[in-house]
Amino acid sequence: MQTRTKGTDRARRLLKAELDVVVGRLHAAAEVPRADGAGGDFLDVAQGIELQELAGLNASRLTERAKRLRSALTRVSDGQYGICSECGTSIPPKRLLAIPDVTTCVACQQQLERGSSQAFEGESMLASTARDDAGMSAARSARAIALTPSASKAR
């Protein structure tokens, strides 16, 4: 039990330190100056807008990371930290050190990624089929209009 407590305390400290870094970066990102269209040429304005958009994307990414770290801290408190959310096995300590907010073991993560890539491929195939079907339907409609007697008389 003593080892488990030491491991839990260490995990909590590491997660808290990581969260503090992320929150600090979020505060720094909030200080990005806003683009001012007055007094600048087109390129200055465009560059200012681009910097704002990049800062927004970075803030969004950091916010998601902070949420994951808070969730990991909750799992530490609940005694669930380091346990795979998919299969229930222990997540190797080296994986937890590399990705402190990880919720799955390597095997389950690979399975999830394979499943999502197959789902993506399936969605792509469905979209392609739908486009093909729509194109064929439009072609059939055009032929049907061309073959109707009223369309023939109009020509």
Contacts of 87 (CB under 8 A, 6+ apart): 105, 107, 108
Same domain, yes or no: 33 and 84: yes
Contacts of 40 (CB under 8 A, 6+ apart): 48
Same domain, yes or no: 65 and 128: no
**Which residue range forms the structural domain that includes residue 3?**
1-104
pLDDT in tens, 73-123: 999 999 999 999 999 999 999 999 999 999 999 999 999 999 887 766 666
What pLDDT is recorded for position 14? 92
Same domain, yes or no: 55 and 113: no
